[in-house]
Structures are given as C-alpha cells and as structure tokens.
Structure 1
Amino acid sequence: MTTNGTAGTASPDAADVQKELIVFLEAKTNQPIAPDQDIFAEGLATSLFAMELVVHLETVHGIEIEGPDLRLANFSTVEKMVALTLRLKGAGGAETRD
C-alpha cells in the first residue's frame, strides 16, 4: 500500500474525500450525485468507467487498489468509495464486502 499525505493533514477526512468524489463524478456524468446513489444501477457509469474511478482514486489519494478491492461493488456509491479510500489510507473507514 502506498500513501501520499496531504500538507498539514495526517489522514483524509471522510467529508473531504466525499466532496472531492462528488465533484469528480458530477463533472464526468453531468448529473447531481448523492452519496448513497448507485451510479451503476442508475446507468450513470459503466464497468469501463469503474477503471477510470480506480485510477482517479489511486492518483488523487495516493492509494493502490488491488485484488479483492477491485470489485464493482466497492465503486457503486460515493459512500463505498469513501470507505474504501479511508481504509486503504489506514484512516479507519468501514468498507463493506457484500
């Protein structure tokens, strides 16, 4: 796991990660996005877009998403992506494995 700390902050805040993800997703989909909205079930994203999400999260948050974490379920909502990001950064975050 690779981490990339931000200036003045030891670990990301869930609200900051959520806000950043919503801004990114809304720019990509041209739709308002709610934290609990399933972007795949609603047709706002495809499995190909999931790979773009992986690259985005890895680049912006300095994490590596590998193996069992590369499941579409981990990217279906902003809430799940925030939990995954925080868990991989070691900040807690209860990522679910459904």
Structure 2
Amino acid sequence: MTAPWTGAATAPEIEAELARYLRVRTATDWAPDQDLFASGTLSSLFAMELVVHMEQAFGIMIGGTDLRMDNFRTIRSMTELAQRLRAETGGGDA
C-alpha cells in the first residue's frame, strides 16, 4: 500500500496511483473514464475497498454524501473526489 501523500498531489499522480491499485487488484488495465462497474465484475464491496484505499493513500476521509457509487465509477471520478477532499482539508491543492 502506498503511504499517504502529505503535500499536493496532481490529478495525473492520483490517477496513476488509482490505476496502479486497480491493476494490481483486478489484473486489468483501466482507462481513466472506463466504468469500473459496468462489466459486472466489480461489486459494491469492492467499492468499499476503494474507499479504504483512497482514505489511506491520499490522507482523506470519505463519508456522507461522498459515499455515492458515482464517485467511484471511474478513475477520473475518484481522482476528482480525492482532489476536492484534499483541498477541503488542506491536504493539497485542487
């Protein structure tokens, strides 16, 4: 597992980390806008694993209305969520 970023993380850095994690966990390369759940091979349980990974890797807390499946549907949507939450908590630039 990747240690949390303490400084700013760019969108490409976040996307690369999420793509790496997904490649390791699913043995599949995912495009940034590819729907992770459309194929039916990934489940809502896996979405919760993504939440835990993102919280640990990016030093964020995901809760409340941010726990919508749409926030985890693509690498790009997860990147946008991570950047927004990091900016809100002072963990990095948006």
TM-score bin (small chain): 0.7 to 0.9
Give deviations 1:26-67, integer Å, cap 9, x for gaps: 111111110000010122311000000000000010000010
Root-mean-square deviation (Å): 1.2
**Identity between Structure 1 and Structure 2 (%):** 45
Q: Residue 68 of structure 1: which of 65, 75, 78 is its match?
A: 65
Q: Does 1:35 align with 2:18?
A: no
Q: Which has the higher contact order (CA 8 A, sep 6+)?
A: 2
Q: Give the residue type in structure 2 aligned to 1:69.
A: D
Q: Secondary structure at the match of 1:45?
A: coil
SS in 2 for 1:64: coil
Gapped regions of structure 2 (runs ≥ 5):
88-92
11, 14, 29: which one pairs with 1:14?
A: 11
Contact in 2 for aligned 1:29/1:44 (Cα 8 Å): no
| TM-score, length of structure 1 as denominator length | 0.83
TM superposition outliers: structure 1 runs of 4+ over 6 Å:
none
Q: How many residues align?
A: 86
In structure 2, what is the Cα distance between the partners aligned to 1:38 and 1:30?
A: 16
